[in-house]
Amino acid sequence: QLETLEQEEQECLELRPHPTEKTTHIVSHEHGMTVMTTVQEGEAEPQCQGVSYGRAKLRGVLLEGASLLLLRVLARRQTMPPNLVFPAINTEGDLCTSSY
């Protein structure tokens, strides 16, 4: 029974004259998960956005770390179940699906 407790992802774009940095922080808690996204462009004030999802909506959710682990297990077994789809959270912090 594996569960993601916390995940942080950071992206940096070195575009001149305004480099952009985006950080996504996902934290599990007793009621579900909270996703906080912070975007900073150049010297501007960082823009923060957060959303929480309840446990019912997250049932079976597969985050990035768990996805990598699953891919390694599937590669080792050299098998791929048909129509393997999981709920996931995209880079914008929205619920989506991840298909393999």
pLDDT category of residue 11 using cuts at 50, 70 and 90: very high
d(CA 65, CA 7): 8
Q: Where in the chain are the domains?
A: 6-99
Q: What angle do CA 59, 64, 70 make, to 5 degrees?
A: 80
How many helices (H) does the chain have, and how many strands (E)?
1, 6
What does each C-alpha distance from 60 to 2, 28, 46, 92 come to in angstroms? 11, 14, 32, 19
Return the bridge partners of 45, or none. none
The percent of residues above 70 in pLDDT, for the chain, comes to 98
The confidence score (pLDDT) of residue 19 equals 92
Q: Which pLDDT does position 35 carry in this prediction?
A: 94
8 has which bridge partners? 25
pLDDT tens per residue, range 16-51: 888 999 999 999 999 999 999 999 998 899 999 999
